[in-house]
Amino acid sequence: MWVTIQLAVLGFALALAVGTVVAVMRVSPVAPARGAGAFFVETVRNTPLALLLLLFVFALPKVGIRNSQFVSGILVLGGYTGAFVSEALRSGINSVARGQVDAARAIGLGFIQTLRHVVLPQAARTVVPPLGSLLLALTKNSAVVATVSVMDLAGVADRVNTDTAQPIPVFLGAAMGYLLLTLPSGLAVGVLERWVAIRR
Amino acid sequence: MSEGALYDVGPRARRRIQVASVVAAVLLVLLGWVAVARLAAKGQFEGDRWALFTRSEVWTYLLGGLGNTLRAALTAMVLACVLGALLALGRISLTRPVRWATGTYVEVFRAVPLLLLIFFVDRALPRYGLGWLPAFWIVVIALVAYNGAVLGEIFRAGILSLDRGQREAAYAVGLSYWQAMLLVVIPQAVLRMLPALVSQLITLLKDTSLAFVLGRFDELLRRGEQIGQIEPRSLLQGYFVAALMFVVVNLTLSRLARRLELRQRRRYRSASIAGGEDLTVLEVEGGARLAVPR
């Protein structure tokens, strides 16, 4: 379970970083950056997570890029979720009222400044709910690392089941474990949502 | 906000943007070049590693895997939609025990990783004398159990997003609960939840690849993996081609879905405008007309 928590937290931190960079790339005036961002999102979103993981763990060592299974898991989970985060952020950016941008431009802020000081802070608030559901999705998706024999919650459950041949209690317990992780983070997201809500 | 507003600017900034574009393009080319050089240095472009893919049986093998993936995904989609619809109706039902039961099911199965469900179904079924079920059905059962819960929530959100007046109007013209649901509420709800529905179905298609952990259901990912087992020198190539096939299929699907969505939204809008000027009864007829499109 500790492994699952680590995967979820580190993976989500990476996903937020990747997502922000890609979202900024996709609304930037620089066409090649937009293209690269779109390419990244469309490719990653349309490939199964398990395939990306296998690619990282088994195929990349062939070209000399070697990571432990755990690190590969974080990179893949972070990159994969990052693509979805960037889409959420982009729609958040588009939901910020146009007047905000005009005002920022009018007082002389540049593109990056406008985004950093005016648009992104407001966009981040509106995308708290979708980001929350992405965090939950990532927590659940982290189970795929069990397929490359990382001993996370799902992996341990499968191992214990092999030893005890008691599928029902074992997997029910593991399911409870995931519920224990997702329910509090779901609640926390709800609280955060109210906390950051813009009071009008 | 239009995205252009962020950088709708004068000549100096335009020049800066051009410079930045060139720099970014050069960087990207450099990055691509480094990647290609790396692959080439390890001999990944050598002809014999790709020679496999000039043989038609390899393509038959991979396309067969894609076929199995699609078959499992399609079966699961249909069944999950049925389960999801039942769950959604259960959760808004007027009977409290039904609401509780379906609510518990949805909350539990939504929170459990699909992989865990696949493990569970695979390990638990043999204990109940169902070990003879082919791997195909193990995958489908797990997919339906999970996606049914997710789709149930999507359906419920779609139904609840509908204005209450729609249902009240349906009652007012004498329709029963089920008639109102089937003829008025559900057709309109389906239109609203179409985007969420389609993206969940694409997720389902991708999730089908998790079945490779069973090791005996030959879907696309497993067959791509097998390429590396058959010809170890083509391991990376096998994964690459499988990934490419997934991307092509999923992109085609989401493009198709977007077009469908736009078309239906246009039709929906014109229908509601036509009904809007008339009496409520006519609006109900508009709803009923939407219920029987073909």
Kindly report, residue by residue over B121-140, the tens digit of the pLDDT: 888 877 777 777 788 888 89
Whether residues A32 and B213 touch (CB distance < 8 A) is answered with no
A114/B127 Cβ within 8 A: no
A66: helix, coil or strand?
coil
Instruction: Dump the DSSP string for chain B.
Output: --GGGGG---HHHHHHHHHHHHHHHHHHHHHHHHHHHHHHHTTTT-HHHHGGGGSHHHHHHHHHHHHHHHHHHHHHHHHHHHHHHHHHHHHT-SSHHHHHHHHHHHHHHHHS-HHHHHHHHHHHGGGGT-TTS-HHHHHHHHHHHHHHHHHHHHHHHHHHTS-HHHHHHHHHTT--HHHIIIIIIHHHHHHHHHHHHHHHHHHHHHHGGGGGGGSSS--HHHHHHHHHHH-GGGHHHHHHHHHHHHHHHHHHHHHHHHHHHHHHHHHHHHHHHHHHTS-HHHHHHHHHHHH---
Mean pLDDT of B185-206: 83
Whole-angstrom CA distances from A95 to A10, B49, B156 are 28, 48, 25
pLDDT digits (tens, 9 = 90+) for B38-49: 777 777 777 777
Nearest residue on chain B to A182, judged by CA atoms?
B111
Q: Flag if B112 and A179 touch (Cβ within 8 Å).
A: yes
Q: What band does B267 get if pLDDT is binned at 50, 70 and 90?
A: low
Whether residue A50 lies within 8 A of chain B, CB to CB, comes out as yes
Q: Is A102 part of the contact surface with chain B (CB cutoff 8 Å)?
A: yes
pLDDT tens-digit readout, B137-171: 888 999 999 999 999 988 888 888 888 888 888 88
Cβ contact, residue pair A59, B6, below 8 Å: no
Q: What is the pLDDT along chain A (200 residues), one digit of tens a residue?
A: 778 888 888 989 999 999 999 988 888 888 888 889 889 998 888 888 888 888 888 888 777 777 788 888 899 999 999 999 998 888 888 888 778 888 888 887 877 888 888 888 888 888 888 888 888 888 888 888 887 777 788 888 888 887 877 777 888 888 888 888 888 887 888 888 788 776 55
Residue in A with minimal Cα distance to B108: A179
CA distance B171 to chain A (A): 35
- For residue A65, which phi and psi values (nearest 5 degrees)? -105, 110
Q: Which residues from chain A sit within 8 angstroms of residue B212, using beta carbons? A: 50, 147
CA distance B44 to A159: 36
Cα separation, B240 vs B35, in Å, equals: 14
CB contact under 8 A, B111 and A178: yes
pTM greater than 0.80: no
Question: B153 CA to chain A: closest CA distance, Å?
Answer: 13
Q: Are B117 and B145 in contact (CB under 8 A)?
A: yes
| Chain A, window 141-170: residues with a beta carbon less than 8 angstroms from a chain B beta carbon | 141-144, 146-147, 154, 157-158, 161, 167-168
* Cα A59 to Cα A105: distance, rounded to the nearest angstrom: 47
Q: Rounded to whole angstroms, what are the CA distances from B239 to A150, B104, B117, B266?
A: 21, 39, 25, 41
pLDDT interval class at B76 (50, 70, 90): very high
The pLDDT-based confidence of B3 (bands split at 50, 70, 90) is very low
Measure the CA–CA gap between B5 and B44, rounded to whole angstroms.
45
